[in-house]
């Protein structure tokens, strides 16, 4: 992979996380291609910037969402301008100072890069609850605490 491709996807991911942490639905939605998708923590799917905005705006308006703490684990080229990023993420509840392990998640991001820049095709936010394996929850939480 060329360095610029890795840098592009990591920059887009940082912009996505900043928009979440800033509770900015429009900022998140504008990062997606016209048919880009978000698969949320609860399994909900939003497709396209307008639907993504319509899904996120009331969440930010009506709920005190927690900011993400992230750690990028892998970036790799998929071909033809497509790049995959995998990360882990945790959340610090509003007013809190530590990661709340119930909300640990795996992030998967796929972007397309062309002459206009890089845009998100897919962002998936999958719970990392490791049912029956509390040691894995604690391991992930400790890894995320290092990012605080």
Q: What is the pLDDT of residue 5?
A: 57
- Cross-strand partners of 84: 76, 110
**pTM, entire model:** 0.92
CA 93/CA 65 separation, integer angstroms: 8
C-alpha distances in Å from residue 42, one per residue of 45, 78, 107: 9, 27, 13
Token pair belonging to 113:
């890069």
Percent of all residues in the chain with a pLDDT value above 70, rounded to a whole number? 95
Q: Is residue 1 scored above 60 in pLDDT?
A: no
Lowest mean pLDDT among 2-6, 84-88, 104-108, 112-116: 2-6
Query: What is the span of the domain harbouring residue 44?
Result: 3-145
CATH of the domain at 63: 3.10.450.50
- Closest residue by Cα to residue 143 from 124, 128, 132, 131: 128
Number of domains in the chain: 1
Kindly indicate the confidence band of residue 6, based on its pLDDT and cuts at 50, 70 and 90.
Answer: low
């Amino acid at each position: 992979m060329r360095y610029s491709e890795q840098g592009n996807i990591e920059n887009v991911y940082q912009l996505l996380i900043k928009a979440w942490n800033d509770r900015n639905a429009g900022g998140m939605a504008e990062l997606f291609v016209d048919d880009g998708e978000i698969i949320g923590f609860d399994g909900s799917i939003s497709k396209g910037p307008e639907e993504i905005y319509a899904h996120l705006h009331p969440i930010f308006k009506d709920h005190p969402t927690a900011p993400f703490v992230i750690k990028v684990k892998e970036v790799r080229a998929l071909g033809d301008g497509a790049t995959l990023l995998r990360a882990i993420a945790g959340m610090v509840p509003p007013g809190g100072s530590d990661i709340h392990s119930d909300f640990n998640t795996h992030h998967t991001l796929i972007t397309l890069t062309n002459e206009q820049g890089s845009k998100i095709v897919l962002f998936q936010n999958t719970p990392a609850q490791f049912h029956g394996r509390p040691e894995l929850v604690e391991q992930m939480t400790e890894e995320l605490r290092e990012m605080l």
